[in-house]
Each structure stands twice: as structure tokens, then as C-alpha cells.
């Protein structure tokens, strides 16, 4: 990484901090809207993260990794196979097609924060760094919101 890139990263980090209250983040052609998690029940070992990622550019980009302070952070996709709902680890990253929005939502794509030592509580914010193949890294805050009655339950999700 060049010094210039490091300086740019610092500027980006500062801007992200300033605009954090808007709860909308941008890096290159990519914007991330409303990253959030639902509060987890006591004893849950994992929590999920949801958001909308938009690519305003004219070339496809790819979310290649997500890191956080939790022991393990992955991207999962919930799929129904033979009538059974299963979560699959998305090992090749997630393509964000040019001009499109990819939504992480209950029952579909989600970030899996694994190895929780205490429940995620409403009002907390968990930082995570999303890295895009073309647009680079961006830190976002997943704000913990009150659990919806019908939200997908991740409490039994081990691995
Ligand atoms: Cu999952």
C-alpha cells in the first residue's frame, strides 16, 4: 500500500465517521445503506447483519470479504433445499452488478457474526470492514435494532 493510499484511506475513514449519523456509506461507486442487526436472544452464538449495497458505476464489483471484531464473520445465503431452510457460506464473494442494488435481508443473503460472547443489544453498533474488489475497503456500523416478531432466528446457528 502506498503512502498516498494510506492517506486516502484515512480521509475516507474520517468522512465515514462524519457521515456515520446518516447511516449510509460510500466507497468508490459503491454505497451501503442502513447496515443493521436484530437484537439477539440470550445465549445466541451468532447474529446476522443486513444492508443494501448499490453499485452506481458501469462495471461490476464484488464484495470479497467482511471482517469485524467478532471471532468469525462470513456471508451466508439462506436457501430452501428440499423444503429445508439452510444457510450456505458464500465463499466466492458477492457480485454487485453495475447499476444494481443487492439486498441483504432475512431469508436471503446475510452477514453472519459468529462467536458472540454476549447478546447484541438494541442501540449498539458493531463495526465491520467490507472490502470490494474494485472499490476497496469501507468501514460501516451495523446498528442493532429491536427484533421483529417474525425475523429469522439465528440463535441455533452454530459452525
Ligand atoms: Cu447465517
DSSP string computed for the chain: --HHHHHHHHHHHHHHHHGGGGTEEEETTEEEEEEEEE---TT-SEEEEEEEEEE-SSS-EEEEEEEESSSEEEEEEEEEETTEEEEEE-TT-EEE-TT-EEEE-TTSEEEEEE--SS---TT-EEEEEEEETTTEEEEEEEEEEPPPTTPPP-TT---
Quote the ligand 1 centre to 89 CA distance (angstroms): 8
How far apart are the C-alpha atoms of 58 and 73, rounded to whole Å?
29
How far apart are the C-alpha atoms of 47 and 132, rounded to whole Å?
22
What is the pLDDT, as a whole number, of residue 9? 76
The pLDDT-based confidence of 154 (bands split at 50, 70, 90) is low
Quote the ligand 1 centre to 47 CA distance (angstroms): 8
Tens of pLDDT, residues 121-141: 999 999 999 999 999 999 999
Residue 158 has pLDDT above 50, yes or no: no
Bridge partner residues of 80 (DSSP): 85
How far apart are the C-alpha atoms of 87 and 106, rounded to whole Å?
11
Quote the ligand 1 centre to 115 CA distance (angstroms): 12
Q: Which CATH architecture has domain 3-145?
A: Sandwich (2.60)
Q: For all residues of the chain together, what is the average pLDDT?
A: 88
Tens of pLDDT, residues 49-100: 999 999 999 999 999 999 999 999 999 999 988 999 999 999 999 999 999 9
Which residues are placed with Cβ below 5 angstroms of ligand 1, an ion?
Answer: 76, 87, 112
Quote the ligand 1 centre to 84 CA distance (angstroms): 14
Amino acid at each position: 500500500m502506498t503512502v498516498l493510499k494510506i492517506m486516502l484511506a484515512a480521509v475516507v475513514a474520517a468522512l465515514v465517521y462524519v457521515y456515520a449519523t446518516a447511516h449510509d456509506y460510500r466507497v468508490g461507486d459503491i454505497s451501503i445503506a442502513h447496515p443493521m442487526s436484530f437484537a439477539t436472544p440470550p445465549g445466541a452464538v451468532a447474529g446476522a447483519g443486513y444492508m443494501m449495497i448499490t453499485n452506481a458505476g458501469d462495471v461490476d464489483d464484488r464484495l470479497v470479504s467482511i471482517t469485524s471484531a467478532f471471532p468469525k464473520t462470513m456471508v451466508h445465503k439462506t436457501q430452501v433445499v428440499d423444503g429445508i431452510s439452510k444457510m450456505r457460506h458464500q465463499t466466492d464473494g458477492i457480485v454487485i452488478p453495475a447499476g444494481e442494488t443487492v439486498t441483504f435481508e432475512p431469508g436471503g443473503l446475510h452477514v453472519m457474526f459468529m462467536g458472540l460472547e454476549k447478546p447484541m443489544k438494541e442501540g449498539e453498533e458493531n463495526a465491520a470492514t467490507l472490502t470490494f474488489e474494485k472499490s476497496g475497503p469501507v468501514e460501516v456500523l451495523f446498528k442493532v435494532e429491536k427484533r421483529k416478531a417474525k425475523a429469522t432466528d439465528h440463535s441455533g446457528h452454530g459452525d
